Amino acid sequence: MITQEPTAVPSSQGGRGNGHEDVFLRRQFEASQERNAFLEKENQELRKEVGRLRSQVASLRAHDNERKSLPWKKIQCSMDNENALLLTASQQKPPPGKEPDQHRPEAERVPKVIAVPPSPAPPPPPPPSKSLARTKAVRRVPEVVELYRVLTKKDVFTGDRPNPAGAPAAEFNRNMIGEIENRSTYLSVIKTEVVRQGQFINFLIKEVDSAAFGDISDVETFVKWLDEELSSLVDERAVLKHFPQWPEQKADAMREAAFSYRDLRSLDLEVATFQDSSKEPLASALRRMHTLQDRLEGSIGNIERTRESMMKRYRDFQIPWKWMLDTGLIGQMKLSSLRLAKECMKRTARELQLHSNGNGCLGEGSILLQAVRFAYRIHQFAGGFDEETIQAFEELKKFRSG
C-alpha cells in the first residue's frame, strides 16, 4: 500500500516537494516485501499461540466437569456414613451378666433400635431414654438433613444447566479463540501502521509544535486540515500513543477552541437571522424564541464558567483567546439576542392589535405579561436595549391596561 502524502499545510510554511516517483515506488515495494515477511512470521507465532490456548481450554473443560460431579460424591459419602451408623446401633446387644429388659425397672429400660435398610432419607431416630432426656436437651432433627439434601440437589441441578444464552461450551470456546485471533491481528495492524506512517506522523508533530495563530478562524482551518490527515490512520489514538513526542495537549486544546468557536458562531448566526412568520401560531413562535434564548444563555454560561482556565491554556499554546471576552464573539452573541426580544414584542403587539376588540378572548393580559418578562430577561442578559428594541418596547407599552 502506497503511503498517502499529506496535503499542503494551510500556513505560510509552503507545500512539500513532489519527489521522484520511481524511487519512491521502489522503496515502497521493498518495504512491502519486508512487511509481508514480518507478517508471515507473526502469523506462525499466532498459530502456535492458538494451539496452546486450545489445549488450555480442553484442560479447563475437564476440570470443570470434575468440579460439577464433586457435590454428588459428597452427598453419597454422607448418606453411606449415616446408614453405617444406624446399622451399627441396631446390632448392639446388652453386655453379658445383665438381666433381661423385662426384669429391669421401668425407668432403666432402653428401647430397642430397629435396623433400617439404607434409604436416601433416614427414618426418625428412636426416642431417647428418660435418663438421657434428663441429662441432655439436644435431639436430632431429620428435617435439617432433608432440607440440606434438597437444597444441595437443587444447586447441583442448577450447575448442570446450560448457560442462559443457550450457547454450548464449545461455541463459547470458539468465540473466545476467535476474539483472541482478531485482537492479535488488530495489534499487528497497529504495529505495521506505526512503522509505515512514522515519517508522516513526525511531519505532523513538527507542524503542531510550530503552529501559532493570530485569529481563531485560522485555528479552525488548521484543525480541519489536521483531522483530515489523521483520518488516514487505522486508529488515531492507538497509533499516536507509540509516539511520545506527539503534542497531545496542544492538539486537544486547538480542537477544543476550534469546535467551541464553530458551535458558538453557528448559534449566533441562527439567532441573528431569526425570522418570525405571521402564519405560525403565536404559542409556537414564542416557544421557538424561548428555546433559542435558552440555548444562547446556556452556551455563553458554559464559556464564562471556564473562561479563566481556558484562556490560560490557550495563551500557553499560542491559541487566540480574545474571542471569549465580552468584546469578542461572546459580546456579539449577547447583542444578537436583542433580535429575539424585538421579534417577540412586535409579534405580541400585532396579536394584541388584531384582537383589541375581542373582549379579552385572547387573554391580552397574559400574553402581554409573557412578552414583558421575555424582554426583561434579554435586557438583563445583554445589558440593555438598542434603539430598534426600545422602539418595539414603546409600541408594546401602549397596550398596557390601566
Sign of CA dihedral 175, 180, 182, 183: positive
pTM of this prediction exceeds 0.85: no
* Closest to 229 in 3D by CA, of 208, 252, 256, 215: 208
Compute CA distances 157 → 65, 70, 160, 168, 241, whole Å: 13, 12, 5, 17, 50
**What parts of the chain have a pLDDT lower than 50?**
1-4, 11-17, 93-117, 119, 128-136, 138-139, 159-160, 162, 164-166, 359-361, 402
Buried/exposed code over 230-242 (b: 16+ C-beta within 10 A; e: otherwise): beebeeeebbbee
Domains held by the chain: number: 1
> Rounded distance, CA 301 to CA 286, Å?
22
DSSP string, 19-79: --HHHHHHHHHHHHHHHHHHHHHHHHHHHHHHHHHHHHHHHHHHHHHHHHHHHHHHHHHHH
Q: What is the pLDDT of residue 271?
A: 93
8 A C-beta contact, residue 187 and residue 223: no
pLDDT attached to residue 347:
92
Residue 34 in any domain: the answer is yes
Q: Are 324 and 310 in contact (CB under 8 A)?
A: yes
- pLDDT tens, residue by residue, 276-303: 888 889 899 999 999 999 999 999 999 9
Rounded to whole angstroms, how far apart are CA atoms 253 and 216? 12
Assess if residue 68 is contained within a domain.
Answer: yes
Query: Cα-atom radius of gyration of the chain, to the nearest Å?
Result: 43
- Cβ contact 399:364 at 8 Å: yes
Residue located via cell numbers 458554559: 302
Question: pLDDT value at position 10?
Answer: 53
In a domain, 263, yes or no: no
CA distance 201 to 221: 19
Let me know if residue 58 belongs to a domain. yes
Phi, psi of 136 (to 5 degrees): -130, 140
352 residue type, one letter: L
Residues spanned by the domain of 42: 26-87+115-124+141-196
Q: Give pLDDT, residue 358.
A: 56
356 in a structural domain: no
List, for residues 45-80, the tens digit of each pLDDT value. 888 888 877 877 777 777 667 666 655 555 555 556
Q: How many CB atoms lie within 10 A of CB 349?
A: 20
pLDDT computed for residue 160 by the predictor: 47
